[in-house]
Structure formats: structure tokens, C-alpha cells
Structure 1
Amino acid sequence: MDIIIGALLGVCLTQALADDLVNENNEGNNGGNSHQNVNVSNQDHTADINSYNGWKVWDAVWDYSKELFATRLFNKRAYIVAKMNKDAFPSLEKLSKFKDQKPAKSMPPPPFLRFSITKTRIRNVAQFGRSINILCKGVPTYYAQQDQGGALLFEFQGCADSGILGLLGIYLCGNISGC
């Protein structure tokens, strides 16, 4: 119960302290229905993303100052931490401007990145900085590495989608031991 209250409090505080709030609705996409909030803090150089999609709910923090992101996969009861690819991730400025853009119906699908989750559990999440430590403390946390080249051609079955709708697809793939 304490975890649920803490998560709700964190979401409320994050939204109250955010510089920009992006709401993205995706209804009717292949029968799916999801809603995302993206809170950008220019002061902290972070973006907090909340995706509400039934059993596939997830939260993430993108820490631009540490060049890391962490995603909590609620159905796996775990966090995944990975290095941000500066060339592929949208900047904080682009995230802030994204809220004012209306997606065109003929837009091509967003670019995507695929990450493989390691099986080794991270014991010290404090090494990743304040934002990620606050988010991941006390929750099983694993590291993921971006797949390169040919690995991107594989199917995404068994992967969790944790990207920003219409802007960037992020797929976290692999079995997490103990979950």
C-alpha cells in the first residue's frame, strides 16, 4: 500500500513541479487505447513519462544530465536502467514542443530503439543519480544495453514498449529473473 501511495504522490508532485506537460492520447490504434503524460523539468534536465495502458502500465524518467533513462514495468515489478542514445532520443526542447503539435494522419511510424535486459540485478541504484535513485530505490532494478545492427530486425514479441507515442519507440526485451 505504501508503494501505491508513494507512486501517486510522486506523480502528483512531478506534475506540479514540471515546466511542461505533454498529454498524448492514442485511441483506436489497432484496437488499443493508451494515454501518456510527459512532464519536462528544464531545471533538473529530466522528463518523467507515465503511460496508462491497462496491464502494460509503465513509468519512466529520462535524466539528460546523466544520459540515462529508467523505466518501471509494473507487470514485471522491476525497473530497467539504460544509457540514452543522444542521437536518437528527442531533446528536452523537442519534448516541450511536441505538446503543441498535432500528429498528421499520414505520418510515418516513429523511429525505435531496442534494448536487451541483462539478467544481473543492480544492487546500488544511487550510482545513477538522484532522479533514478528516488524512482528505483527498493525495487528490483536491471541494466539494459541498446541492440545494434541486425538485432533490430527481430520481432518484438516478449518486449515491453516504453516509448513516447508518435515520437520514439523503445522496446525493452528479455526475461527478468525472479519476476
Structure 2
Amino acid sequence: MLARLETILAVAFLGLLTNTSFANNAVQLINKGNNGGTVYQTVNINHNINVAAFNIYSGMHSTNAIVDYNNGLIVYHMPYKRTCVVSRMNRQTFPSLSQLDDMIHEGQPLHSLHRNYQISRTLIRNIASLGGPIQAICGGLNTYWATESQSEFVSGGGCAGVRLLFLDVNLCGGISLF
């Protein structure tokens, strides 16, 4: 029952972002995955609530990311592992919502953004304190804090690589993501 409720909340929230009356910009892309399969990506930017949602539809390993500019948080949601990873946004190096919007509509940004995160083993107990967008997508899931790291190779466990349009993310250590 709880799993069904969290799925309904996540779908409702993502639907709200993709609804044309709420979302200011939506982009859909079709790419080839590393294994040659088709990968569908959508990016939805909602300037009214200052949130960008990235969705990768690649079968069993589909992934989502929410960038919540109001709260300065980024969440990486891996439904296949029933896991979320939350990090504080480095506002000095992460593009603003307007810059992100421009990068998406340019088609091919001049550069990729690379982010490396070290995942803590400590569960976040009060997800509601992180704001509505993160609560909607991570409610009922194991949710961990991560700290941005300069090093691409982080000790303490395996890594999962996530490619969101032009954002390359390495989530490493702490927990098993495979």
C-alpha cells in the first residue's frame, strides 16, 4: 500500500511538472544508450516553482533528478534501487535556472557539467523538511545525503554513473547502487 502511494505521489508530481499549464519549458530527446538501446530523456523546467526535472527512460535503469532552486537541493532518484540521493547545490558552479533553460534550448551546450558525490550511509529521516518536490519523489524510499567531491574516484563502495542531458554525475561510496 505504501509503495503504491509513493508511486502515485511521484507520478502526480512529475505530471504536474510536465503539464503544459504548469511547466514553462519541456524538452524531449531520444539518444542511443551505452548498450546501443534507445534512451528517452525529458527535461521540464518550471519557473513558477523554480524546479527542473530530468527524466531518463531506459528500461530497468530509468532515473530522475530534481533540481530545486528554492531550497538549493538536487535529488537523484533511482527507482530500480528504491533509493534517492540528495545533495546541496553549489550555486557558484551550478547554472541558474535561466542558464539551464538556455543550455537546454541550445541543443548542444558548449560543455558538460561533471559532478562527483560521496554518499553517506546515514538515512535522511525527515524527508518532508527537504521541501515538496523532494518529498514527492523520495517519500517512502531510502534517502541519503551526498557531498560533492572534486575527485572522480571516491573511496568506500561502488559508483553509479548518471548522464542527464549535459550533466554527468558519479554517485559513489556508502551504499550499493548496483
What's the TM-score bracket when you normalise by the shorter of the two chains?
Answer: 0.7 to 0.9
Give structure 2 stretches of 5+ with no counterpart.
none
The answer (yes or no) to whether the contact 1:22–1:96 under 8 Å persists in 2 is: no
The root-mean-square deviation of aligned C-alpha atoms, in Å, is: 2.7
1:141 aligned partner, one-letter code: T
Q: Using the alignment, how far apart are the partners of 2:160 and 2:153 within structure 1?
A: 16
Alpha carbons of 1:88 and 1:24: their partners in 2 closer, same or farther (altered >3 Å)? farther
TM-score, normalised to structure 2, is 0.81
1:10 aligned partner, one-letter code: F
Q: Using the alignment, how far apart are the partners of 2:153 and 2:77 within structure 1?
A: 25
**Matched residue, 1:27:** 32
The answer (yes or no) to whether the contact 1:89–1:168 under 8 Å persists in 2 is: no
The answer (yes or no) to whether the contact 1:22–1:98 under 8 Å persists in 2 is: no
The answer (yes or no) to whether the contact 1:39–1:49 under 8 Å persists in 2 is: yes
Alpha carbons of 1:131 and 1:4: their partners in 2 closer, same or farther (altered >3 Å)? closer
Give structure 1 stretches of 5+ with no counterpart.
none
Q: Using the alignment, how far apart are the partners of 1:102 and 1:15 within structure 2?
A: 19
State the SS of the aligned residue for 1:102. coil
Q: Using the alignment, how far apart are the partners of 1:30 and 1:88 within structure 2?
A: 31
Residues 69-101 of structure 1 deviation map (CA, whole Å, 9 limit, x = unaligned):
111112221111101122332221122223432
The more displaced of 62-71 and 92-101 is 92-101
- Alpha-carbon deviation of 1:28? 6.0
**Matched residue, 1:102:** 107
Within the alignment, does 1:72 sit opposite 2:71 as a pair?
Answer: no
Alpha carbons of 1:84 and 1:71: their partners in 2 closer, same or farther (altered >3 Å)? same
2:121 aligned partner, one-letter code: K
Q: Using the alignment, how far apart are the partners of 1:128 and 1:28 within structure 2?
A: 32
**Matched residue, 1:48:** 53
1:134 aligned partner, one-letter code: A
Q: How many residues were matched structurally? A: 171
Alpha carbons of 1:111 and 1:48: their partners in 2 closer, same or farther (altered >3 Å)? closer
Which of 140, 143, 167 is equivalent to 2:142?
A: 140
**Matched residue, 1:57:** 62
Alpha carbons of 1:89 and 1:34: their partners in 2 closer, same or farther (altered >3 Å)? farther
Q: Using the alignment, how far apart are the partners of 2:86 and 2:56 within structure 1?
A: 17
Percent of pairs with identical residues = 33
Q: Using the alignment, how far apart are the partners of 1:139 and 1:62 within structure 2?
A: 18
Q: Using the alignment, how far apart are the partners of 1:80 and 1:43 within structure 2?
A: 24
**Matched residue, 1:122:** 124
**Matched residue, 2:133:** 131
- Alpha-carbon deviation of 1:174? 2.1
